[in-house]
Amino acid sequence: MILGVNVDHVATVRQARATFEPDPVMAATLAILGGADGITVHLREDRRHIQDRDLRLLREVVPVELNLEMAATEEMVNIATEVKPDLVTIVPEKRQELTTEGGLDVKGMRSWLTEVVKRLHDAGLPVSFFINPEQEDVDISKEIGADMVEIHTGNYANALGQKRVEELERVKEAVQRGLTLGLQVNAGHGLTYYNVKPVAAIKGLRGLYIGHSIISRAVLVGIEEAVRQMKALILEASKQ
């Protein structure tokens, strides 16, 4: 099973100061050294974290799967066909949301998504739809022509107790439905070091896409060393 690491959150920290660091491109190369099978970025319409420059540089330096998450807009389709990521994941996008809140409305957007898939396929790009764990949404994704689906695990991740068991069951059923239809099936959103195992154990899943939890942990496991390096610089200079 592959692990795609989403580095958007590194860019969020950078954008908080509108500066050059931390660079999501550097973070991506380190993630690859750590074993990431893919790098994901979401180029949002408002460019709140990942910038066009990041995507272009990542296309040059990422030797593993580069997965571009994007809204199904004219602008993004043009960027994808030009930059040519290894995979395009279509996600819904609302300006005010903190993160992608739900799966794609494949039913409501059927005709536009059909057009988008056609244009991406014409450019040689495989397409994945980020969808809720609903059988109907898996079926419609297949009908529209998606190559893959990514099952939204957010409700599973947020649920507790019996509800979590039920949400996991929904994810499993959606995965199974996708496999039966011949789709490649991924999962992601809200997965952490504490809840990933039951999802990783689902048979037939192609991969997991994880961002926030990995970047959060990186901040904590990296703080000691970062302070040590700054302190060494200061002590060295203050001795002179």
Active site residue 69: yes
Active site residue 42: yes
x/- map, 59-88, ligand PXP, by CB under 6 A: ----------x-------------------
CA atoms within 13 A on the CB side of 147: 15
Pick the closer one to ligand PXP by CB: 27 or 91. 91
At CB < 8 A and 24+ separation, what contacts does 139-143 make? 139/177, 139/181, 140/106, 140/107, 140/110, 141/106, 141/178, 141/183, 142/178, 142/181, 142/182, 142/183
Strand partners, 42: 69
Q: Specify the stretch interacting with ligand PXP by CB under 6 A; choose among 71-79, 161-169, 170-178, 204-212.
A: 204-212
191 binds ligand PXP per the rule CB under 6 A: yes
Q: How far is the CB of 24 from ligand PXP (least distance, A)?
A: 13
150 binds ligand PXP per the rule CB under 6 A: yes
x/- map, 96-135, ligand PXP, by CB under 6 A: ---xx-----------------------------x-----
**List 31, 89, 93, 144, residue binding ligand PXP (CB under 6 A):** 89
Helix (H), strand (E) at residue 173: helix 161-180
Strand partners, 128: 89, 148
Q: Specify the stretch interacting with ligand PXP by CB under 6 A; choose among 48-56, 161-169, 186-194, 216-224.
A: 186-194
Q: Are 172 and 151 in contact (CB under 8 A)?
A: no
Q: What is the dihedral of CA 151, 157, 159, 165, to 10 degrees?
A: 70
**List 109, 126, 209, 218, residue binding ligand PXP (CB under 6 A):** 209
State in Å, rounded, how far the first CA of the chain is from the last one.
Answer: 53
Task: State the burial class of residue 10 (Cβ atoms within 10 Å of its Cβ: 0-12, 13-18, 19+).
Answer: buried
Q: Would you tell me which residues interact with ligand PXP (CB under 6 A)?
A: 6, 8, 42, 69, 89, 91, 99-100, 130, 150, 188-191, 209-213
Would you name the residues annotated as active-site residues?
A: 42, 69, 189
